[in-house]
Amino acid sequence: MAQSIRLTAHDLSCQRGGRVLFQHLSFALGSGEGLRVSGPNGAGKTSLLRLIAGLLPMQGGRLEVGAGAPPLPELCHYVGHANGIKSTLSVSANTSFWADFLAGEPARVGSALKLLGLEALADLPAGLLSAGQKRKLALTRLFVASRPIWLLDEPSVSLDAASVKLLDAAIVKHLKSGGLAVIASHLALKVKFAHELKLGGKGSA
Amino acid sequence: MTPALALLRRDIRLAWREGGAIGTALGFYLVVVAITPLGVGPDLNLLSRIAPGVLWVALLLASLLSADRILHNDYEDGALDVLANGPLPLTLVVALKSLAHWITTGVPLALLAPILGLLLNLPIEAFPLLVLAMLAGTPAVSFLAAIGASLTLGLRRSGVLLALLVLPLYVPVLIFGVATVSAATTGPASPWPPLLMLCALSLASIVLAPIAAAAALRNAMR
């Protein structure tokens, strides 16, 4: 993993449907630092993550990674509200597709499923999984392709206590190895975040 | 496996698994062609004269049935977010998904066409050219459908709107497709010039349609 990755945001702003969600938003994340984004519903947490992932067009401001790095979207893992799981494919087929498509390591599919406790379900169609298991399946793509920036949108939704612990540990490990993480979460994760960002409810940060 | 191959393989597998995609298109094609003789009467000469047109129109409608699957499911379940963050440009993602649609819809329909030609008293000499023309023309059908699929992404009842948007774009394919098969049945014109035009239409669509579809897709995802 490239050690020199930095994520710097200058003066970001975001409008959705004519309503200003946030403006003049700046932050800088160095290698190994996490940013926790909090705020009431509709404050723009998801929009901020999608903006960083390149899924929303920039409306103002700049996002920069270190010089010479690949384009930002290719450095990011984005796990949003929708899991992106194909219900007719088996659990392992879903994960191996991500490993292949994201140019990751197909050899790590087994260990990723094991890490999240899905190895016994590997041959089951993903449509039969419970909501929490689907969430865990979506999170396996973090482990089959290594990318320095994790963008997680409410990753702990519908996870049980044991799984939240696993996720916690995985995020800590990712940060220790020099990765970055931007996480929008209501739930208290035990990860020590280097930065906190509170998006306000009244339209601006 | 390279990312491109992985995506192509996944889409083909999904089309088989999710049922409906291939079966519905083939079944629809069969039913439309089978009820045509009931509508126009048992005049064999008339049937063989209109056979190329009926086979082509029914093929276009049948392939539109599954056209919204090119992108709609991935948009609904969030898989498109992952595809957009992969190493492939969005244009190539759309192109691969259109290619998968051609393999799972265009090719089976083209191979079924001669059997349906029997129902319409199409001369057997015309069968090879019929299949050839359809194999040459259906890539354009799938790739142009991707434009409609990305323009109607996220809309309710998108299938009907998609048909309205895309069917006019199919007119050149229809004209040259029917001309190829008619030339083989009625002569004396050579079937090759319209067949080459079909190939040109397909090649142009393969290059240009993904660019348009990816632009529409970016707009739909915001």
Average pLDDT over residues A65-81: 85
Q: Do A73 and B82 touch (CB under 8 A)?
A: no
Q: What is the pLDDT of residue B174?
A: 96
Distance CA B56, CA B179 (A): 11
Mutation choice for B interface testing from A46, A86, A144 by most B CBs within 10 A: A86
Q: What is the pLDDT of residue B219?
A: 86
Q: What is the pLDDT of residue A57?
A: 84
- Pick from A1, A32, A5, A51: nearest CA to A205: A51
Average pLDDT over residues B25-31: 93
Q: What is the pLDDT of residue A60?
A: 83
Q: Do B77 and A82 touch (CB under 8 A)?
A: yes
Q: Do B85 and A103 touch (CB under 8 A)?
A: no
Average pLDDT over residues B187-200: 90
| Residue B222 pLDDT grade (very low, low, confident, very high; cuts 50, 70, 90) | confident
Distance CA B90, CA B136 (A): 25
Distance CA B210, CA B205 (A): 8
**pLDDT tops 50 at residue B87:** yes
- Pick from B209, B198, B142: nearest CA to B174: B198
Q: What is the pLDDT of residue B20?
A: 65
Average pLDDT over residues A4-26: 86
**pLDDT tops 50 at residue A135:** yes
Chain A and chain B share a number of CB contacts under 8 A equal to 80
Q: What is the pLDDT of residue B19?
A: 67
pTM of the full predicted structure? 0.91
- Pick from B125, B178, B160, B81: nearest CA to A153: B81
User: Token pair of B30, please?
Assistant: 């069969």
Nearest CB partner across the interface for A73, out of B13, B79, B85: B85
- Pick from B178, B206, B204: nearest CA to B191: B178
Q: What is the pLDDT of residue A202?
A: 45
Percentage of chain A lying above the pLDDT 70 cut: 95
Average pLDDT over residues A93-111: 92
Q: What is the pLDDT of residue A157?
A: 86
Q: What is the pLDDT of residue A141?
A: 92
Q: Does B38 contact A at CB distance below 8 Å?
A: no
Secondary structure tally for chain B: helices H, strands E: 11, 0
pLDDT-wise least confident of A38-52, A177-191, B125-139: A177-191
| Residue B73 pLDDT grade (very low, low, confident, very high; cuts 50, 70, 90) | confident
Stated as kind and residue range, the H or E segment containing A78 is: strand A76-79
pLDDT-wise least confident of A68-82, A98-112, B23-37, B141-155: A68-82
Q: Considering only CB atoms, which chain A residues are within 8 Å of B5?
A: 100
Please, how many CA atoms are within 13 Å of residue B100, restricted to the half-sphere of its CB? 24
